[in-house]
Each structure stands twice: as structure tokens, then as C-alpha cells.
């Protein structure tokens, strides 16, 4: 559909008029092209690489949420309009804010202000504020002020915005490139002492925030006034010019679209004249086709062209038409009126001293209609580009959205509205749009933005207070590193071992693999997420493995030791059956991932259970013997345990098989722990000075003697209290997968209590232990994961989360996992620094073999560990090698060496 105006059909005159009207009419297919060009320009505006050159600048506004009706308080708003300054006093009840109390005043702007100095402009605005507050007797109050500034600004905060360029005939000197908030604040400070400018926003943002229907906010706004612009709630992850997540309102500044020539096939010679006569030729080409500052001018130049071609006013001297501004957009809009239009046209043209014929008046009316229709159609092309962008970026089949609209052209003229709405529906058929004209400009919206700004600032402050204890400084981490080193030295000392919280258990593994290991082995891997039985064949051509995972029910892990080891035996026998091992008696390496006093390679006494295990009758017992007894109970004669190792040792050995520099084993999974190769002369708890031995640090218990109490937050204490081993494994409970989810859950509950999350609504499901598993952190923290997915996770917990809520939940997860990674790195820094000093090296080069679901699956845990370690131990070059096949392979390698009878 293209909207062709009707007209008399007489010869050359008709052709000129038709040509003019055709030139001013954009067919739908061309509008589709314009829409696609705007979509592309919007993409360029969002991209960090092309943002600076983009004709649609896509400026972040730092508005991250639409109003939620709880905004409360009294706010001062100042709106800079084309010919006046409007000051408003807005009281928001927080009751959905559908009818806030508003007191306002309008101060006409002296004509010389818009082209005068910036100082004069802001002093004038400050005088208006001072006068307004005097009139409403509010001079004494401490007041937050929201400033509606309808010009393109590079915003870096809600209260920091640099003017990029003036438009709409404003050109005050000394403002472009300056922070407008600062300029206004300093002008206000000259007159008043108690007014803080806390937010600046574009008038489109004010419009978007003001227009909300039945509590469903608008997510797009459009202003078609002297100038034109739009804004919408974009996916923040797509706004590459800022670091943010969730949503961010972006002011498109689409007025400049076409400044790169992408409207040249739409612009007519009449538009060209208007541009050349404007204060900034070549700039804001789109605005000059749409804004009311220009429509009258386009009509005037069209009439000049038609008159020149003797198509109109053949009886008149048309010089009057050559004066800029003789025909205003308002007049053009009156001329298009169905009833009064022709009369208006005649009185206007006669008023200009022209002697228009009836057809002349009709042709002028047609031109006016064409110019206004084109403006509406172009706005529709821009709006549909935004709609399509939002639909795609939100991965929606159909977008349903409210569009707030302000500006004389939309508010005042049905024809403009009809065309805008109908063409939008044609260009964005998969979007359901409700247009919401603002009833009172941007005032209420600006108050809401100011309220949101204050609420966000207040909320930010409160959230920072809640999370501050979990944010560790470099000094904190250096201190933890120092404490870990002290506990390690105490643990290695014969005299001091008993009091050390880090046991530093000798493992009797004295070498890492040398590749000469041979043979077929059975391996068990107990203590991680699953219990695994493996068959491992080690040969000159490498290692082949077969394995089976078995779940150990809590009833068994927390039952009797006999039942636990019986269960283990049943799994072994099931595996041997499946692997058709018949009655082969394979040497067995047993990865037993709990603190054990190793008395030999195949003898280890369990010191205590961890990770939720508590099977009775095991602590103080040789776990190999417990396994052998279970084999006897099962009349299983084919069990030959030759080695029992900790999973850290198994992991070090497994990675050491491929990388001889691997001398540290690290586990960050259900639990956490580390081992490393220590110089025998430093191991005071074992006879012998020569060579080295792998030490199982059991660092999970670091801090059990209270040395970490100042790191422990109330949330950690609550989590610890609810475990079956309160006061134990303190370091582990700050780091490992078994506990992080619970720490997050308790922080979320605290934020709900403080009304900072889920609007303070009680969350019964969130009260349930372990309802927020650590794997949620790994999902929620995936970079670029749409917050929609976070919302989905929360919905499963019957939590109705807003975007702000989802962002806050993500921030809590990030804070907890980052602390865990940093603490893990502080522990490792102590280990590598000790190894470097042990070897008297200026620089240590070492590999850490690592395993565990948290380290392997969390999106940024490993990165945080590595970055923090690099900072805390700069003299150590540390490579992290993720263990492919787990520590079972390592246990088999230890068994292989044991079988060679070589003193490991
Ligand atoms: C896989 C290893 C196993 C270790 C586990 C730790 O093979 O020995 O205990 O990693 O990670 P989790 O399963 O506890 O996340
Ligand atoms: C155990 C360690 C084990 C670690 C990782 C800790 O709870 O005490 O022996 O290495 O978890 O699985």
C-alpha cells in the first residue's frame, strides 16, 4: 500500500505535481529497504568496532529497568523544552504510580538563550528551579533532581552525560563535549544548596517511563516533535559499548540516520534545499524528513519547485515563498485537515500575498499530506526496525510491546498516527504493538527515572553492604596465603603436626610416573560425585581404560561402614561381570578421597569423613582392610589391593603420566584438596632426608583452628552449622561444590528479607536445604546467557524474578564463586611459593593436575584461579592440566609402580 493523494488530471501541470508527490511518497518496498538499512545501522551502533561511525548511535542511558510501581518519594524534575523550561514536583506513592501528585510550572525561555552561551542557558534553568521551589515553599528540602535533556548525549552514568551535538536550533556555546549534569549542578549550586542532579535522561526515556498501561510498562518510546528520536530496552549484552547484563535502555538518536548517504534514494531535491538552509547541513538527515522543525520547510520548497515549473501560483509572485519559515509545520498540518484544510490553505496562501487557484490550494494540501505521510511512514520504518531487533535479540516468535509516544506530530494529528500505526503493522507483522500517547509529557517518567536512580543507588549500596564481606581484597588473599604457608609448615613439623589445621599427610608416593609403568589393573574411585570402578591397561603404547560409574545413596554414605564397603564390593563384582573379568585377580589401586593417615602404600587409616559421608565404624580404621573384609563377606577372593591414594595424588599421577612437570594435584569438586611433591628433608613426620614425597595437604580443614574466622561470613556460618560436620572442613566449605549453592541460597534469603530481591516476597521453596545446587551457579554465570534463562531457573523454584532480580542473583553467584576461586588460588600460591623456595629457584615452572566438576564445569572458576594465582605468586609459571580420565588412572599408575616393587 502506498498512500497516493488524488488530483486533477490536466497535462504538464499534472505531471509536475505528480512527480513531486511521487517523490514525496515512499512505496512499501522502499520503506522495507529503509527499515533494513536502519536495522543494520542500529547493529553498527551497538557494536564496539563500528559504534563511532554508525549513523544511528545507540547511546546507552544507564536505565536498566522499567518502572515496577514501587518507586516512592518526592522528586524535582526539570525538563528543557523547545521554547520553555518546565519544572515539576512529583510525589510517587509506590502504589503502582498510576496517579502521582504533580505540581508544575512553565518558564518561557528568552529567545536568545538557545543560541547563546551554555552558562546563560544553565543559569536560566537554575533560576527557574529556584523560583519554582520558592513558589511551592520547598527551598529547605534536600531534593533529588531528574533532568530531561532532549539532545544526544554520551552517557557514562545516570548522572554523567556529555553532550555530543546540539540540534533543533539549539547551539549554546561551551556545552558540546561537556558533562551536562555538571554544568547544571554548578549553575544550581550558585543559587541553591540542597538540590542534587541525580539523573539525566533523554526525553524519549522520560516518555517511555511515563507511559505504562495497567502496570505493563512501555519498552519502547518514540518522540516526533521538532526533532525525532526513539529509545528501547535492549539486551545489555548486545550493547558492546558498555559492560552490563540484563537490559539497558538505549537512545537510538535515529535523527542522524542517513548522514552517511543511506537515505539518498529517498531524499528529494526539496529536502536537499531544507538541509542546505539548515544550521548544520548534511547532519540529522532523517530528522529533517520527520521533525516539525522541517516539514513546513519541505512543503515550502516543494511549492517553490512547483511554482517554478508553473504548476502552481501561475498568477502570483512567489518570492514570499523564498523566505525561510514563512510556512510552519503547524500550518501545513492544519491544511491537511479533511474539513478545514482547503480553507486553511487558501487563507494562508492569501495571507502570504499569493493568489491561489482552487487547484493550487488542492495541490498544496496534497503536498502537505504527502510530506506528513512520509514522515509517519519513515517513523514506522524506524520503529519496525526496533521491533524486529527486539524480537530477534529476545529470540521471540512474536513480540508484544507497548510503545510510548510523545510529540506534537503524533499527539496532534490523526493522519500521522494512522499511517505510523498501519505502516508499522505492515513492516513488523510479527509484533503486537500498543501505542500509548503520554498524557503529560515526560514529567512523571522523569520522576520515576529519578526514583529508579535513587532506588538503584540505595539498592546498590545495600547490596554492596550484604556482599562486601564476600569480596576479598588482595591483602586478604595475601594474608590467607601466608596463613596457609604457616599451617603447611606446622603440618610438616613433627612437633607441630598435631595442632596444624592442614594435616600435610605423607602419601609414600616419592616419584611421579616415568612412562615405564606396565600392566592391567583394577581401580576404584570413591569420594567424588560418583563412585567409579575402572579397568586400566598401561603399556608402552599408552593407557586403555574401561569404567563404570555407580551412585552411592546417602543412606549408604551415612549408614554403616559395613554397608558402605559391601556396596562398594557389589559394584566391583558388577563391573567384573560386565567386563567379563571372570576370576582374574588384578592388582587394585584404590582412590579414597578422604583424609587418611597413610601407613604404607596399601595401608591408610581414615582420620575423619568429609563431603557428607559419615558411615559408622570406619574412622580410625584401615580402609584397605575394610575393603578386604567386605570382599571376604562377599566370598570374593579376587581382590588384591596394592595401593590406596587420595584423589589429589591420583590426579597428579594421572596428569604426570603425560607431563613430567606435573608435581601438584588439585581437586575442586564436591570437596577440595591439593597435594604436591615436597622435599623429604622438610617432612618432619617421616623418616629420611633424601628425595621427595607427595604430601596430601588435606587443605579442606584449613582454618578449623580458627585462623580463618575473620574470612567467614554469617552466611558461611549458617551453612557450616547445617552440615553434619559443623566447624570442620572450614576452607572446603568456602570453596567446594557441596557448599557454594547453599551459601548463595542463604545470601538470596537475606536479600529477600531486606526487600532487595523478589520485592521482598517470601520464597518458601528457597527455604529448602540444597534446593539451589552449585550447578545452578555454573549455568547462571555463563557469559552472554540471556537473563531469561536465569529467570527460567528461578521460575522452577517458584520465584517470579524481574530482570533486576535475575541480575542480582547472577551477581551473588559471581561473588560467591569468585571468592571460592580466589581462596583456592591463595592456597595454591602458598604451595608453589614453597616449592620455589624449596628448590631455591628465582622462578618455578610447574604443572598442576586438576580435576573436579566445579573447576571443570564452572564457566569462569578456572580463569579466576589462574588470574589470582598469577598475581599472588608472580615468580611461578603454573600450567593447569585438566585430568581427562580422573584419578582412577592415577591410582592404577601408583599400583603399577607398587607392583614393580620399585620403591615409589
Ligand atoms: C574426578 C576424580 C575423582 C575426584 C573427583 C572430584 O576421578 O577422584 O574425587 O573428580 O570431583 P567431583 O566429582 O567431586 O566433582
Ligand atoms: C577430602 C579430600 C579430598 C577432597 C577432594 C575432601 O573433602 O578430605 O581427601 O581430596 O575432598 O575430593
Lowest-confidence pick of 314-318, 493-497, 819-823? 314-318
Q: Label the pairing between strands 152-157 and 160-165.
A: antiparallel
| CA atoms of 326 and 352, how far apart (whole Å) | 8
What φ, ψ does residue 369 adopt, rounded to 5°? -65, -40
Q: Label the pairing between strands 216-217 and 212-213.
A: antiparallel
Task: Kindly report, residue by residue over 46-95, the tens digit of the pLDDT.
Answer: 998 999 899 999 999 988 877 777 778 889 999 999 899 999 999 888 87
Q: How far is the CA of 602 from the centre of ligand 1 (A)?
A: 21
Residue 770, all three cell numbers:
540444597
Outline where DSSP puts E strands in 44-194.
Answer: 59-60, 72-80, 84-93, 101-108, 143-148, 152-157, 160-165
Examine the pLDDT at 856 and tell me if it is beyond 50.
yes
Determine the 3-state secondary structure of 603 from DSSP.
strand
Q: State the CB neighbour count (10 A cutoff) for residue 128.
A: 22
Ligand 2 atom index nearest CA of 528: 12
Q: How far is the CA of 851 from the centre of ligand 1 (A)?
A: 6
Report the side by side order of strands in the sheet with 662-668: 505-506, 692-696, 672-679, 662-668, 844-851, 876-882
State whether the beta carbon of 671 lies less than 6 angstroms from ligand 2: yes
The DSSP secondary-structure symbol of 681 reads G
| CA atoms of 667 and 676, how far apart (whole Å) | 12
Q: How far is the CA of 210 from the centre of ligand 1 (A)?
A: 54
Residue 632, all three cell numbers:
571376604
Lowest-confidence pick of 216-230, 576-590, 864-878, 888-902? 888-902
DSSP result, 846-861: EEEEEE-HHHHHSTTH
Task: Kindly report, residue by residue over 807-837, the tens digit of the pLDDT.
Answer: 899 999 999 999 999 999 999 999 999 999 9
**Catalytic residue set:** 532, 593, 647
Q: Under CATH, which number does the domain 59-214+227-256+439-461 receive?
A: 3.30.420.40
What number is the average pLDDT over the span 288-310?
Answer: 95
> H/E element holding 292?
helix 292-308
Residue nearest (by alpha carbon) to ligand 1 atom 11: 852
State whether the beta carbon of 610 lies less than 6 angstroms from ligand 2: yes
Please report the pLDDT score of residue 246 as a whole number.
Answer: 78
State whether the beta carbon of 698 lies less than 6 angstroms from ligand 2: yes
Could you tell me the residue ranges of all domains in the chain?
Answer: 59-214+227-256+439-461, 260-381+408-421
Residue 812, all three cell numbers:
551473588
The answer to whether the CB of 334 falls within 8 A of the CB of 370 is no
Examine the pLDDT at 394 and tell me if it is beyond 90.
no
Examine the pLDDT at 8 and tell me if it is beyond 80.
no
Examine the pLDDT at 904 and tell me if it is beyond 70.
no
The answer to whether the CB of 731 falls within 8 A of the CB of 708 is yes
State the ligand closest to the CA atom of 672. 2
Residue nearest (by alpha carbon) to ligand 2 atom 11: 671
The ligand 1 site (C-beta within 6 Å) comprises 525, 527-529, 591, 593, 647, 650, 667, 669-670, 737, 851-853, 886-888
Tell me the CATH number of domain 260-381+408-421, given options 1.10.620.20, 3.40.367.20, 3.30.479.10, 1.10.3720.10: 3.40.367.20
* Residue, of 545 and 584, whose pLDDT is higher: 545
What φ, ψ does residue 412 adopt, rounded to 5°? -95, -10
Q: State the CB neighbour count (10 A cutoff) for residue 29.
A: 8
State whether the beta carbon of 150 lies less than 6 angstroms from ligand 2: no
| CA atoms of 287 and 152, how far apart (whole Å) | 13
Assign 3-state DSSP to the chain and report helix, strand, coil percentages, each to 5.
Answer: 45, 20, 35
Q: Which residue has the cell 582374574?
A: 584
The answer to whether the CB of 73 falls within 8 A of the CB of 451 is yes
Residue 434, all three cell numbers:
500498543
State the ligand closest to the CA atom of 606. 2
- What is the 3 state secondary structure string of 127-142? HHHHHHHHHCCCCCCC
| CA atoms of 889 and 896, how far apart (whole Å) | 10
Ligand 2 atom index nearest CA of 732: 7
Q: How far is the CA of 306 from the centre of ligand 2 (A)?
A: 88
Model confidence, pTM? 0.76
Q: How far is the CA of 672 from the centre of ligand 2 (A)?
A: 5
Residue 692's beta-bridge partner residues? 679
Q: Do the domains spanning 59-214+227-256+439-461 and 260-381+408-421 agree at the CATH topology level? A: no
Average pLDDT over the chain reads: 91
Q: Which residue has the cell 549553575?
A: 187
Q: Quick one: pLDDT band at residue 433, thresholds 50, 70, 90?
A: very high
Amino acid at each position: 500500500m502506498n498512500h497516493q493523494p488524488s488530483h486533477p488530471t490536466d497535462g504538464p501541470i499534472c505531471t509536475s505535481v505528480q512527480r513531486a508527490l511521487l517523490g514525496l511518497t515512499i512505496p512499501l518496498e522502499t520503506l522495507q529497504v529503509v527499515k533494513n538499512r536502519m536495522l543494520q545501522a542500529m547493529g553498527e551502533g551497538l557494536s564496539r568496532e563500528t559504534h563511532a561511525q554508525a549513523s544511528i548511535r545507540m547511546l546507552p542511558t544507564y536505565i536498566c529497568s522499567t518502572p515496577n510501581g514501587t518507586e516512592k518519594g518526592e522528586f524535582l524534575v526539570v525538563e528543557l523544552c523547545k521554547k520553555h523550561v518546565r519544572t515539576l514536583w512529583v510525589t510517587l506513592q509506590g502504589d503502582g504510580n498510576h496517579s502521582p501528585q504533580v505540581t508544575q510550572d512553565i518558564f518561557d525561555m528568552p529567545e536568545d538563550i538557545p543560541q547563546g552561551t551554555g552558562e546563560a542557558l544553565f543559569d536560566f534553568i537554575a533560576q527557574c528551579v529556584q523560583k519554582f521551589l520558592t513558589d511551592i515553599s520547598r527551598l529547605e528540602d534536600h531534593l533529588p533532581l531528574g533532568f530531561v535533556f532532549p539532545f544526544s548525549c554520551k552517557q557514562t552514568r545516570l548522572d554523567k552525560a556529555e553532550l555530543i551535538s546540539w540540534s533543533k536550533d539549539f547551539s549554546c556555546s561551551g556545552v558540546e563535549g561537556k558533562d551536562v549534569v555538571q554544568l547544571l549542578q554548578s549553575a544550581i549550586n550558585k543559587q541553591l544548596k540542597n538540590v542534587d542532579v541525580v539523573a539525566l535522561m533523554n526525553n524519549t526515556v522520560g516518555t517511555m517511563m511515563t507511559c505504562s498501561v495497567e502496570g505493563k510498562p512501555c519498552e519502547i518510546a518514540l518522540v516526533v516533535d521538532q526533532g525525532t528520536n526513539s529509545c528501547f530496552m535492549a539486551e545489555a549484552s548486545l550493547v558492546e559499548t558498555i559492560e552490563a547484563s540484563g537490559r539497558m535502555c538505549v537512545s537510538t538518536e535515529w535523527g542522524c540516520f542517513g548522514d552517511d548517504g543511506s537515505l539518498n534514494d529517498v531524499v528529494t531535491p526539496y529536502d536537499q534545499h531544507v538541509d542546505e538552509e539548515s544550521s548544520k547541513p548534511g547532519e540529522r538527515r532523517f530528522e529533517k524528513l520527520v521533525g516539525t522543525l522541517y516539514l513546513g520547510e519541505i512543503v515550502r520548497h516543494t511549492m517553490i519547485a512547483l511554482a517554478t515549473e508553473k504548476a502552481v501560483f501561475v498568477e502570483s509572485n512567489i518570492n514570499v515563498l523564498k523566505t525561510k519559515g514563512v510556512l510552519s509545520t503547524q500550518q501545513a498540518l492544519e491544511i491537511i485537515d479533511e474539513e478545514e484544510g482547503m480553507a486553511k490553505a487558501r487563507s494562508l496562501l492569501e495571507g502570504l500575498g499569493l493568489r491561489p487557484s482552487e487547484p493550487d490550494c488542492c495541490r498544496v494540501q496534497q503536498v502537505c499530506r504527502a510530506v506528513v505521510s512520509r514522515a509517519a511512514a519513515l517513523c514506522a520504518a524506524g520503529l519496525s526496525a526496533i521491533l524486529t531487533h527486539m524480537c530477534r535479540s529476545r529470540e521471540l516468535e512474536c513480540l508484544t510491546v507497548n510503545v510510548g509516544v510523545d510529540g506534537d506530530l503524533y499527539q496532534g494529528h490523526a493522519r500521522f498516527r494512522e499511517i505510523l500505526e498501519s505502516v508499522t503493522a505492515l513492516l513488523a507483522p510479527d509484533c503486537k504493538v500498543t501505542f500509548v500517547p503520554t498524557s503529560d509529557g515526560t514529567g512523571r517518567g522523569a520522576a520515576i527515572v529519578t526514583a529508579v536512580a535513587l532506588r538503584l543507588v540505595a539498592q546498590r549500596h545495600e547490596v554492596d553492604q550484604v556482599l562486601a564481606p564476600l569480596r576479598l581484597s588482595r591483602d586478604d588473599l595475601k594474608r590467607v596465603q601466608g596463613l596457609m604457608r604457616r599451617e603447611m609448615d606446622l603440618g610438616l613439623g613433627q612437633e607441630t603436626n598435631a595442632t596444624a589445621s592442614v594435616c600435610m599427610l605423607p602419601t609414600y608416593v616419592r616419584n611421579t610416573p616415568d612412562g615405564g609403568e606396565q600392566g592391567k589393573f583394577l581401580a576404584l574411585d570413591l569420594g567424588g560425585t560418583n563412585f567409579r570402578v575402572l579397568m586400566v591397561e598401561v603399556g608402552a603404547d599408552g593407557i586403555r581404560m574401561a569404567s563404570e560409574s555407580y551412585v552411592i545413596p546417602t543412606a549408604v554414605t551415612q549408614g554403616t561402614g559395613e554397608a558402605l564397603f559391601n556396596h562398594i564390593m557389589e559394584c566391583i563384582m558388577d563391573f567384573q561381570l560386565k567386563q567379563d573379568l571372570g576370576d582374574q585377580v588384578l592388582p587394585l589401586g584404590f582412590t579414597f578421597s578422604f583424609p587418611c593417615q597413610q601407613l604404607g602404600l596399601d595401608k591408610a587409616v581414615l582420620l575423619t569423613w568429609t563431603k557428607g559421608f559419615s558411615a559408622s565404624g570406619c574412622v580410625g580404621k584401615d580402609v584397605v582392610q575394610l575393603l578386604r573384609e567386605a570382599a571376604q563377606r562377599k566370598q570374593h577372593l579376587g581382590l588384591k589391593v596394592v595401593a590406596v591414594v587420595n584423589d589429589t595424588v591420583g590426579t597428579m599421577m594421572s596428569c604426570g603420566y603425560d607431563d613430567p612437570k606435573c608435581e601438584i594435584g588439585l581437586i575442586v569438586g564436591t570437596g577440595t584438596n591439593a597435594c604436591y611433591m615436597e622435599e623429604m628433608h622438610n617432612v618432619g613426620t617421616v623418616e629420611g632426608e633424601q628425595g621427595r614425597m607427595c604430601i596430601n595437604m588435606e587443605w579442606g580443614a584449613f582454618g578449623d583452628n580458627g585462623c580463618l574466622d575473620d574470612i567467614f561470613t554469617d552466611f558461611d556460618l549458617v551453612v557450616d552449622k547445617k552440615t553434619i560436620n559443623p566447624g570442620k572442613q572450614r576452607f572446603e566449605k568456602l570453596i567446594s561444590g557441596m557448599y557454594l549453592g547453599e551459601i548463595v541460597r542463604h545470601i538470596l534469603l537475606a536479600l529477600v528479607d531486606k526487600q532487595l530481591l523478589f520485592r521482598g516476597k517470601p520464597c518458601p521453596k528457597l527455604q529448602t536445604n540444597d534446593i539451589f545446587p552449585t550447578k545452578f551457579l555454573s549455568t547462571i554465570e555463563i557469559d552472554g546467557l540471556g537473563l531469561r534463562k536465569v529467570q527460567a531457573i528461578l521460575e522452577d523454584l517458584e520465584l517470579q524474578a524481574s530482570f533486576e532480580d535475575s541480575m542480582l542473583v547472577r551477581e551473588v553467584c559471581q561473588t560467591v564463586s569468585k571468592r571460592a576461586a580466589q581462596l583456592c588460588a591463595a592456597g595454591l600460591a602458598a604451595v608453589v611459593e614453597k616449592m620455589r623456595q624449596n628448590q631455591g629457584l628465582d622462578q618455578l615452572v610447574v604443572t598442576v593436575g586438576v580435576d573436579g566438576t566445579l573447576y571443570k564445569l564452572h564457566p569462569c572458576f578456572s580463569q579466576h584461579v589462574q588470574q589470582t594465582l598469577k598475581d599472588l605468586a608472580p615468580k611461578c609459571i603454573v600450567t593447569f592440566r585438566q585430568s581427562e580420565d580422573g584419578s582412577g588412572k592415577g591410582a592404577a599408575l601408583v599400583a603399577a609402580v607398587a607392583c614393580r616393587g620399585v620403591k615409589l
